[in-house]
A and B are shown apart, each in its own frame.
Chain A
Amino acid sequence: MAELQFREALRDAMTEEMVRDENVFLMGEEVAEYDGAYKVSQGMLDQFGPKRVIDTPISENGFSGMGIGAAMMGLRPIVEFMTWNFTFVAFDQIISNAAKMRYMSGGQLKVPIVFRGGNGAAGQLAATHNNSTEAFYTNVPGLKVIAPSNPDDAKGLLKSAIRDDDPVLFMESEVMFGMKGEVSDEEDYLLPIGKARIAREGDDITLVAHSKSYWLAMEAAEELAKQGYEATVIDPRTLRPFDTEAVIDSVKQTNRLVIVDECSPYGGIASEVAFRIQSQCFDHLDAPIARVTAKDTPAPYAKNLIEAWMPTVDEVIDASKKALYVN
């Protein structure tokens, strides 16, 4: 095991796959000469040259579509978005083209492309730059969506995403790029897409949380433990497809479920998970499923407001206690 930053794990995954397969290339804003807006691709231009590490103009629709066209011809592009906030101008390419090409062509084509970049709120950036976009994209059949919470998963899943023959949306977080963690140094470290990770086991309540929210759930679980309640924490890692079985298995033991999700509450990831669990193991539930999400407003700028807008550890603890019927 080596201790790596999240960004280094991502870089290692891309580098290994580019060494392995000539058809893999990276493009995006500032990925080459600038060494990456968040230094994820640092040094990659030097290693692979401008043919395979390509700076793009600020044209998300254009370069997303160009990547999809290249993937239709058998290349395996990695398209970096500076953040997922900026993908709204590339929405048509991702939804109308990447997701649906195979279907509309009756299976004649595949689109092996990875779109990746920072997702979710990242501080006092105000409403346009603090979107959690996963619920928009998980809504679209034809896409796969991954949102890892730690460097190890980031590496193993990104490598798998690059090798996957379907379009994969890989969501990172600007505030997690510097996070350090142990990363497997297995030679070809691949994690399966669509499998959750049970991060902590406890009999009293199940917490489900992905990406940044996962760390809130873990902190809440530690605090709950101090108060005598043991939580299972599940990191789904992949949001589409979603490992429903892992949650069902856990809820059958704990009978209680809280979902932590940075998306807006209306139709977010939490809504989908809650629906699946109530419909598939209703008889096992001893309390209504609870969720902790962002507030139902655009993200505000002011420090106190954005802090109140984001899900917090205290909210996760409160929601858990409500589900446990304790106060």
Chain B
Amino acid sequence: MADETKNPPRKRAAKKAAPKKTSASNGKAASPQTVPDAADFRMYTEGGHTHESLGLEKDELLEMYRSMMLQRRFEERAAQMYGRQKISGFLHLYIGQEAVSTGTIHALEPTDPIITAYRDHGLGLARGMTANESMAELFGKIDGSSRGKGGSMHFFDVEHHFYGGHGIVGGQIPLAVGLGFAGKYKGTGAVAVGFFGDGAINQGAFHEAANLAALYEIPVLLVCENNGYAMGTSVDRSVSQPDLYKQAYGYNMTGALVDGMDVFTVYHAMRELAKQAREENKPALVEIRTYRYRGHSMSDPQKYRTKEEMEAKKNEDPIIKLKAYLIDHKLADNAQLDAIDDEVKAEVNASVEFAENSPYPPLETMYEDVYVQEDYPFIV
């Protein structure tokens, strides 16, 4: 992909915010001696990118559209299958957040390791997991990505450098720092990207990991996908500093705020931030504001938000936005996009059939994949 960051033709491109002269002390009268160091906050909220300004070719744009559609249609079918009791346990849908996964994956090198929390289908599919192995995993079948041992919350695709799908809120953030540490230790030049939700920013694991990342100068982006709600608790009811990116200040790292409903903005921000992390061995805290259109999980009555809020957010649907852009810029016509939709639907439908036909894991697989040691003496 062409990289135009050296000579950016963009006019209204999101820009690095000038380092703030004043502090995060919110207007308190501060004497010069108490003004802290300037914070490195960056705003990627304006939008206004064009594919040309970002150096994105038509083929890649269509690939992004296809990926977003695949994530959307896959999860719609998964929800349906949950209703039919083909899928059990927890199912957390990513619907509405697809610009985050897609923009990020396209901004990274394919070998940059990524890791996320339990709302993981979107990132997995965006990184190259097949609909077949994903649906089979949800069905708890042997052909699933984790052989039916992980389920919805534990998607993994190590071949594509996707390190999971993690069920404990915030528990994967220190792991993300470890992924970045390993890249630096081995000198691979990889940047690790660790995703987590707005609820996880209140976990000690986040704060310990952020400190370690900055202290050891680890190339890792700590990406908070702020969809507004930790289950049913809104950010302003749970975080003392609800501008989450500002928490970067406490760890002496770059803090970035990104509009997560626009795939171009996410792509642009993540490309710039990954470049910095790669070249300067620097972590950053990236808050990407997004919105999930579905409940926290399948059993969420969603009394914590209004219909009006939902409707307003649906006008920002990142897939509709990209579709309109493609048509407006004559990069694709409706027929072409419909063809992609049909292709994706067929792929998803086939995955349901694949999952149905895949056998349940044989009972003896219970004792497999616990230890690398092949003759471990289990208590039986």
CA distance A66 to B283 in the complex (A): 14
Give A56's nearest chain B residue, CB to CB. B212
Asked whether any CB of chain B lies closer than 8 Å to the CB of A59, the reply is: yes
Inter-chain contact A62/B208, CB cutoff 8 Å: yes
Inter-chain contact A65/B149, CB cutoff 8 Å: no
Asked whether any CB of chain A lies closer than 8 Å to the CB of B335, the reply is: no
CA distance A102 to B371 in the complex (A): 7
Inter-chain contact A92/B171, CB cutoff 8 Å: yes
Asked whether any CB of chain B lies closer than 8 Å to the CB of A327, the reply is: no
A25–chain B nearest beta-carbon distance, Å: 7
Chain A residues with Cβ below 8 Å from B186 are: 73-75
Supposing A56-B212, A166-B373 touch, asked if A92 and B205 sit within 8 A by C-beta, the answer is yes
Give B177's nearest chain A residue, CB to CB. A66
Asked whether any CB of chain B lies closer than 8 Å to the CB of A124, the reply is: no
Supposing A65-B205, A102-B372, A194-B377 touch, asked if A75 and B182 sit within 8 A by C-beta, the answer is yes
Asked whether any CB of chain B lies closer than 8 Å to the CB of A64, the reply is: yes
Asked whether any CB of chain B lies closer than 8 Å to the CB of A115, the reply is: no
In the complex, chain B residues 212-243 whose Cβ is within 8 Å of any chain A Cβ: 212, 215-216
Asked whether any CB of chain B lies closer than 8 Å to the CB of A57, the reply is: yes
Interface-lining segment among A32-40, A103-111, A205-213: A103-111
Supposing A61-B208, A110-B372, A241-B376 touch, asked if A69 and B185 sit within 8 A by C-beta, the answer is no
Query: What number of B residues sit within 8 Å (CB to CB) of A?
Result: 54
Inter-chain contact A68/B145, CB cutoff 8 Å: no
CB pairs A–B below 8 angstroms (26 shown): A61-B174, A61-B205, A62-B205, A63-B174, A63-B212, A65-B173, A66-B177, A66-B212, A69-B115, A71-B178, A72-B163, A72-B178, A72-B179, A73-B183, A89-B204, A102-B371, A102-B372, A104-B156, A105-B154, A107-B368, A107-B369, A108-B159, A109-B158, A112-B372, A244-B377, A276-B379
In the complex, chain A residues 38-93 whose Cβ is within 8 Å of any chain B Cβ: 51, 54, 56-57, 59, 61-75, 89, 92-93
A272–chain B nearest beta-carbon distance, Å: 9
Query: What number of A residues sit within 8 Å (CB to CB) of B?
Result: 47
Chain B residues with Cβ below 8 Å from A59 are: 208, 211-212
A interface residues, Cβ below 8 angstroms from B: 25, 51, 54, 56-57, 59, 61-75, 89, 92-93, 96-97, 101-110, 112, 141-142, 144, 164-166, 194, 241, 244, 276
Chain A residues with Cβ below 8 Å from B369 are: 102-103, 105-107
Chain B residues with Cβ below 8 Å from A54 are: 216
CA distance A68 to B174 in the complex (A): 8
In the complex, chain B residues 344-368 whose Cβ is within 8 Å of any chain A Cβ: 368
Inter-chain contact A62/B174, CB cutoff 8 Å: yes
In the complex, chain B residues 133-159 whose Cβ is within 8 Å of any chain A Cβ: 144-150, 154, 156-159
Chain A residues with Cβ below 8 Å from B185 are: 25, 51, 70, 75
CA distance A144 to B372 in the complex (A): 11
Supposing A69-B176, A71-B178 touch, asked if A57 and B158 sit within 8 A by C-beta, the answer is no
Name 6 extra pairs, CB < 8 A, besides A65-B208, A69-B178, A164-B373: A59-B208, A69-B181, A69-B192, A106-B148, A144-B371, A165-B373
Inter-chain contact B215/A57, CB cutoff 8 Å: yes
A145–chain B nearest beta-carbon distance, Å: 13
Supposing A65-B173, A69-B175 touch, asked if A105 and B146 sit within 8 A by C-beta, the answer is yes
B interface residues, Cβ below 8 angstroms from A: 113, 115, 144-150, 154, 156-159, 163-168, 171-183, 185-186, 192, 204-205, 208-209, 211-212, 215-216, 368-373, 376-379
Give A142's nearest chain B residue, CB to CB. B370
Which 10 residue pairs spanning A and B have beta carbons closest together? A69-B178, A65-B174, A62-B208, A73-B182, A106-B146, A106-B147, A165-B372, A69-B175, A107-B369, A105-B156
A71–chain B nearest beta-carbon distance, Å: 7
Chain A residues with Cβ below 8 Å from B204 are: 61, 89
Inter-chain contact A65/B158, CB cutoff 8 Å: no
Chain A residues with Cβ below 8 Å from B163 are: 69, 72, 109
CA distance A56 to B373 in the complex (A): 31
Chain A residues with Cβ below 8 Å from B174 are: 61-66, 68-69, 93
Chain B residues with Cβ below 8 Å from A68 are: 174-175, 178
A57, A105, A109: the one contacting B212 at CB < 8 Å is: A57
Supposing A56-B212, A62-B211, A66-B209 touch, asked if A103 and B149 sit within 8 A by C-beta, the answer is yes
Give B192's nearest chain A residue, CB to CB. A69
Chain A residues with Cβ below 8 Å from B149 are: 103-104, 106
Inter-chain contact B371/A142, CB cutoff 8 Å: yes
Give A63's nearest chain B residue, CB to CB. B212
A51, A102, A108: the one contacting B370 at CB < 8 Å is: A102
CA distance A244 to B378 in the complex (A): 11
Inter-chain contact A70/B182, CB cutoff 8 Å: yes
CA distance A204 to B163 in the complex (A): 54
Chain A residues with Cβ below 8 Å from B165 are: 104
